[in-house]
Chain A
Amino acid sequence: MLTTRTAAPALVILLSLAFTAEAETISPAKLEVNLGAFPVDNYCDPPNTGVNGASCVNNSIFPNTNGVCTTSISVRECVRRFFNNNPANGTVVAGNYVSQGITGVRLFFTLGGRANSTPFTGSNHAVNSTWITQLTQLFKDLKLWGIQRVTPLPALDAAYGGMISEMSANYPNTSGCPSGSKTLYFFPWLPYGLVPNGSSVGGPDQTQGVQAYYCSPYTPSNIWWGWGPIVGTGGVIDQVLGAAATAGLSVTEFEMQNENDLENFSVEARLIYDITTGTDVTQMVGQLMTNHNFKSTGVTLSVKSGNACDSAGCINDCASLFGDSARIVDTDQLQSAFYGGVFGSPPYVSYNGTMACDDSSSHGCGAVGSQGWYACATKGMLILPGSHPVPALTDIHNNGCLLISTSNPSCDLSGSVSVTSSQTTFYNDVWGYLQYRGLTGDPILFGETNSNQPSTACNNDTPTITQQNAAGFEASTLYSSDATNVYLRPWNTATSSNCVTPILLGAPNGPYK
């Protein structure tokens, strides 16, 4: 049961006595785990040091492991204990992720040094060889420990990206855009700015609403690196994919950005086709996937799902402009943008919870599909030039909560109303979408979902909601019809004190068992 290749603390030994063999998960769906922003700089073993002399000792990098990791063991050893289920490969602890039936890992790599990840060197923006060596080692280790797939994604716009500059930038000299300038936060790898939110960083700029794709200030040239260091040959994504290939891990999905929201932030479409430089970004990443023998159609951006609410006046479901459920309108928005169709905020929306219900017919557009309806119902929305590689997979982030009310988009964590029925509706809607859009047989990933974490501060949910989410999935037509193509990835931030790592998700008696 337990090897002593490295010394294990007493608690780990105790836990190991309860070690259970690898078991099936919510079969035949696949269970994966999120790790959040991963500390690549520290992924090493003493007496070595990591990137730019970073310590290899855990200290409190993984602060809430239920005794699995002490502060004195190495970061690499700690991660081993999260996953390893084979005594031949070192310490095995009870409840490790592989024993739970988890077969895939999603992790962020930050780009500017925060969250202990510094992939670039100096002024030429080359990839740091130590960083990529350590990431390769992580991938090799995950493979050795029993993980089959990895979903790495760059933290392009998150507050922990590092190397951010607050400055004033002019609006583009583009028709329909205002004159003057705006103060925003800019990253050197992101072709748009983020709005200040007090002393921190808020969301993408929304200058001129739906017109932000064109009108939001471009990242100033003295900040912007160009796409080369990110998506060019030899750039960081190229090398990350190379690391996965070297390790023998599959990359079913390469997620270019987390939780794309084209309805509220049309400027994020610059990550599909960057109008500021004329760059087909996802096509370039697709080529990198091909170069490493992964599918080019695995490049996408994840989206969030909409939630219903549980107070008076709430409805459980409605149709969006696109005709699918408004629970998945961001999925339609993304698909349409790739395809060359309309995206951005529709002109006529009736919001219910965070569902954007189509309200065109009550504003004089006529019945859906009638003569003139399309032009009326999509007025003002944007269309990208050309058409772009449409992903052959779908990644929806779903926190299966019910919102407090139509005007309060906070999750109701009281437990007063079960989310099971609402979640069954959601998964049924997804199955309907896949069927109608010809995507059955392709992967459908719930790239972030309910966490089973005891603290609501980890994922804004509860173990009860997690159980109900899983029950809702099992009762759905998606589960009964297409479960083999479903990937569930409960959220976790392994470096956060709010989240326990490892947490029980799958076998023997987790919510996604």
Chain B
Amino acid sequence: MTRPTKTIIGLTVLFISCGVLSAQTSGISGQVVDASGSPVAGATVLYSNVPPFTRDSSGHLVQTGPSINSGTTTAQDGTFAVSGLPAGLYYVCVYGPQSNDLSPCEWGTGALNAQIADEQIFSAAPIAISSGTLLIFRVNDPNSLLQDIAPPTVVGGRIPLSGGNFKIGIMAGTRYFRAIPSSQQGTQHLYTVAVPVGASVRPFIYSSLVVTSLTTGAAMATGAASPAIIVTGQPQQYVDLQVQ
């Protein structure tokens, strides 16, 4: 995906500013940019409200207003606009189109908090996404033992909720990111997760199989975090494992 040049942001910034402007309907507008300030086309912008709840006399939580979970995609100039939203607080998260893009909702300072009043458009400051390293776990499975837990596939129109014997991800501090199964090449399964350059992350494997590091020959912990990996500045970084 090609990203527009900085000249476009120069034009768009004319109407992008922090604050709330009057409008016919309530909504959110803004622009997604990369670390250099260039607009990002094709970014996913997700927004959700905070639906109201109260408790009844028995202590049960009762929802008293609507939930809203939806999204849109940025235009070539990185801008987005959503209208027709009821007033209220919305959390806005953006996700870049590249596999190594890092969302500020997961790696930055968090979601944009957009407090929308009636008949107003919340105009957000540019939201920046950054690029990281794609950490690739190459898992050799010579005996065809590996079956993914929670595979990102759909069977019979349903997302599977059982089965499998292997799941891999990373812990970054107390936050867990799953490495997504991306492909299989022969006996090798590839799992990818984007992480910031220079980050210290710990692989977290859950498996009933024996998992060994092909780099050190040591068994990897399962059901717990392994020793940290320092992420280099390369676009891709590999971790080689074997299951048996």
Q: A residues near B, CB below 8 A?
A: 36-37, 155, 158-160, 172-179, 197, 200-203, 206, 208-211, 214-215, 258-259, 261, 264, 275-276, 319, 321-324, 332, 335-336, 339-342, 345-349, 351, 354, 356, 359, 363-364, 368-369, 373-376, 378-380, 383-387, 390, 406-407, 409-410, 436-438, 457, 460, 491, 493, 496, 498
Contact = CB atoms under 8 A, between A and B. Distances in A.
Contacts of B238: none
B150 A345 contact: no
A175 B159 CA distance: 28
Interface stretch (B30-38, B65-73, B134-142, B226-234): B65-73
Nearest to A200: B55
A383 B161 CA distance: 12
A359 B66 contact: no
Nearest to A201: B55
B63 interface: yes
16 contacts: A158-B55, A172-B174, A173-B173, A175-B175, A202-B55, A208-B110, A209-B91, A339-B162, A348-B69, A356-B67, A356-B69, A369-B157, A375-B180, A380-B95, A390-B161, A409-B65
Q: Is the interface of A mostly helix, strand, loop or mixed?
A: loop
A460 B56 contact: yes
Given A174-B174, A208-B111, A264-B53, A383 B150 contact: yes
A386 B167 contact: yes
Please give me the 8 A-B residue pairs with the lowest Cβ-Cβ distance, nearest first: A323-B158, A158-B59, A369-B154, A341-B150, A209-B91, A386-B206, A374-B152, A203-B53
Contact of B59 (A159, A323, A378, A380): A159
A496 B196 CA distance: 55
Interface string B178-212: 10100000000000000000000000101000000
Nearest to A332: B161
A178 B110 contact: yes
A339 B158 CA distance: 15
Interface string B127-139: 0000000000000
Contacts of A436: 156, 158
Interface of B: 44, 46, 48, 50-51, 53-73, 91, 93, 95, 103-111, 149-150, 152-154, 156-162, 167, 169, 171-176, 178, 180, 204, 206, 223
Nearest to B91: A209
A348 B65 CA distance: 18
Given A209-B48, A385-B204, A348 B173 contact: no
Contact of B161 (A197, A336, A406, A460): A336
B61 A259 contact: yes
A349 B67 contact: yes
B93 A380 contact: yes
B55 A336 contact: no
Contacts of B44: 347, 376, 379
A452 B172 CA distance: 51
A323 B157 contact: yes
B161 A339 contact: yes
Contacts of A374: 152-154, 159
Contact of B171 (A373, A385, A409): A385
A430 to B, nearest CB: 15
Given A175-B175, A176-B105, A214-B174, 8 more contacts: A176-B175, A215-B110, A322-B158, A323-B157, A346-B69, A356-B69, A380-B103, A387-B150
Contacts of B54: 197, 202
B156 A323 contact: yes
A47 to B, nearest CB: 33
